[in-house]
Structure 1
Amino acid sequence: MDIDEPLLLFRAQFLQCIDHDFIRWPPSVLLQQPDAQSFLSKKLFNVSNPTSHPPASYEARVLKTLIAKIAKSVGSIAANNKALEDLSFRLASLQSMSPREGPITQLDANVTYNCIPQNSRLDTQESWRPLTVVESRSLVAGSKFTGHRTWEGALHLASYLVSKSDLVLGKSILELGAGAGFISIMCAKYLGAARVVATDGDERVVKDMRRNLLLNELETEELISAEQLVWSRDLHDKISDGPGFDIVLGADIIYDKGATEALVDTLSALFDAMPQVSVLLSNAFRFPDVFEVFQTGCARNKLRTRVIDYNMTPPAAQKSLFYTTSMPLQIIEIQQDQLRKKHTAGSTFE
């Protein structure tokens, strides 16, 4: 059957574990329809693929509200409604689980993102490009272990990359501070990158990232690999034997003063080795004083920063890659200034 866009929008929000209070629920007139109820029962809440399903605690809360909305829309015929009975049975099953049964806490959540442009139609065959990663959804910005989840800056950068279909195609990509690996996996899985190296300084994060590569059936190191890279320390050892990179990406990695100074040193070293490399960083302005450290460091190393003309998509208009826009988000391009270009013109990547 043809699936109405509000149902597909609800599916994308549910699988991305959007906060219950911000979900755009299908309208009552649609929830009355048997085909719509069947889609919800069989395609969303019948766990055919548990490795891409949200935590049970989250699913139960969403399902409880959905059942109430369906019951209200169908009125007196609710008692004889097979789909509603199936959904109610699923809710009871979720509520009976103990906290240790399966990935049902926010500490270990399967989160599925739909990697399509924000202006896409949802009712086409190309409108579902899922990417699932395991994340720790309870993390707070600024904590010591931020690498275990995907933040707003990464989703903003992802929206930009999928809107520029040729930007990554055929290119060699290095991601700094890749965290759960979402950006790197998307580049390899859907954007046609020729080679992707996803890096993070935390060994535990890299281990989890490799699990996410397998989760997305990306098992060939020729296409994508996850490696530990500590900024300003072991850049040369990690990439000096390779062919270099066309694009360096980073999202939500400017949040700690010491780490930001090391990041600038790493970017400077990358430009020394690869003068023609393109650097794009997505940043949420949570810490203005830290961003000032970044800008000062770039200026000291003769690196120019330019804000890309790409606006945040308002939440009410988002159809995929959902993220909040209460915090200003910008994509920054970093280039060498003319004096530095002359100095590095003869550099090679050895």
Structure 2
Amino acid sequence: MTSSTTKDHLFELTRQYASLSAQNTLIYGNISHTTIQDFLIKNIISSDHFSQYPPSTQYQKSFWKRVIVHLESSSNEDEDAEFELSPDIYERYLSLITSRPSGVKPSLSVGEGPPEKSFITYFWKPPVNSPNRGVNEPYLKATLLESRAMIEMGTTGLNTWTASFVLAQYFVDHPDLVVGRDVLEFGSGIGFTAIVLSSLQVLWHRPHSRLGKLWFTDVEETVLTTCQSNIALPCNLSSLHTGVKVQTLDWFASLDEERKPSVAKLLKEDIAPHVIIGADIVYDPLLIRPLLATLQMALEPDPRNSPICALFALTLRTQRTKSEFFRTAKDMNLIVDDISKEAPRSVAFLSGTTPHRDFQDVNLFRFSMMT
């Protein structure tokens, strides 16, 4: 195995650990135990980033248990003739199995409590021609505090969903769509897309040019608080963006005659976006009409503002949902263009071992108003 291939395999281990990949996907390649061990000690155990923003205790225990099993297995590499497992790895594992996961009461055994919150880190490559790309930063990080439970406290916003990766990658590939522009996101969740968009605007910002304002919205205060905290994490380039705002936005208010004027003011006067985006925000058919009513309000022509475009990455899981979505859009004089052929079919945020089959179910739509 060449040194370049070895380096790539080892970096994949870091990506898998950082993104909490399933343990059965860990791939070590034909790399000596000595090389793997030295790499893991240097790049994970001794990492300042993973010390400050660690995966959950539950995940770390499982990860290091798998590593120990692998390193204690036989090796055919000459370099491993006298290999011994490092005390650093044993000590890390022992410290984890004797610790109590955060949020688990003393009366509960390990594994009986709810899934922990966990920091999760996605590595991504910025555009090669971005003016502020650091020469020593081949990868940037998007780190979030994320709930590993699919639904927590009655909201679905505390996880990063598949379509978010597709939409974020689309803007990494087409930064001109968002650089220097005011962007409004519907259903921002915990802020993955927000981190990437904010970072892109910082990367592409030139002296004396307009940075752009970014508005990230959701209906749940808990989700918005998490989103704002994640954007501001010092390890994320997004923390340097000075034009970020989070805002409560209830789509159902667009159907309420009493609340509609305040929503219109927010969308048309306070935010006045150039671009509107959203990812995986039609997970319930009941949301279709309020979502599209809000979008219709935002897209209504205004001579004071630049033309608006809207881009959504959506997973319309049933034909019934899809039909209702397009029928409602037509009723509201919205033109929907399916531009899924332009959508990325692989993303840089996930490790090479992460299954990408779900991405083919993500559709990319562009919206405009009928004239």
Other-structure match for 1:334: 367
Other-structure match for 1:295: 326
Q: Is the 8 A contact 1:196 1:224 kept in 2?
A: yes
Could you tell me how far 1:188 is from its partner in structure 2? 0.6
C-alpha distance 111-287 of structure 1, shift in aligned 2 (>3 A)? farther
Equivalence map 1:104-119=2 (5 Å): 106-116=115-125
Q: Distance in 1 between matches of 2:279 and 2:165?
A: 9
Any idea what SS the aligned residue of 2:177 has? coil
Equivalence map 1:216-295=2 (5 Å): 216=234, 218=238, 222-231=242-251, 232=254, 233=260, 234-242=262-270, 244-273=272-301, 276-295=307-326
Tell me which of 310, 323, 333 is aligned to 2:342: 310
Q: How many pairs were matched up? A: 329
Gaps of 5+ in 2: 105-109, 129-134, 203-210, 255-259
Q: TM-score, normalised by structure 1?
A: 0.81
Q: Is the 8 A contact 2:122 2:349 kept in 1?
A: no
Q: Distance in 2 between matches of 1:191 and 1:332?
A: 22
Q: Distance in 2 between matches of 1:265 and 1:30?
A: 56
RMSD: 3.4
Could you tell me how far 1:279 is from its partner in structure 2? 0.7
Any idea what SS the aligned residue of 1:37 has? helix
Other-structure match for 1:344: none
Q: Does 1:184 align with 2:204?
A: no
Q: Is the 8 A contact 1:113 1:130 kept in 2?
A: yes
C-alpha distance 316-227 of structure 1, shift in aligned 2 (>3 A)? closer
Q: TM-score, normalised by structure 2?
A: 0.77
Any idea what SS the aligned residue of 1:186 has? helix
Q: Does 1:19 align with 2:29?
A: no
Other-structure match for 2:257: none
Residue identity opposite 2:249 in structure 1: L
Gaps of 5+ in 1: 342-350
Could you tell me how far 1:287 is from its partner in structure 2? 4.1
Other-structure match for 1:201: 219
Q: Distance in 2 between matches of 1:111 and 1:279?
A: 29
Q: Distance in 2 between matches of 1:219 and 1:39?
A: 29
C-alpha distance 265-271 of structure 1, shift in aligned 2 (>3 A)? same
**Structure 1 stretch displaced more, 223-232 or 172-181:** 223-232
Q: Distance in 1 between matches of 2:96 and 2:81?
A: 21
Percent of aligned pairs sharing the same letter: 21
**Structure 1 stretch displaced more, 167-176 or 283-292:** 283-292
Q: Distance in 2 between matches of 1:315 and 1:263?
A: 27
Q: Runs of at least 4 residues of structure 1 off by over 6 A?
A: 75-80
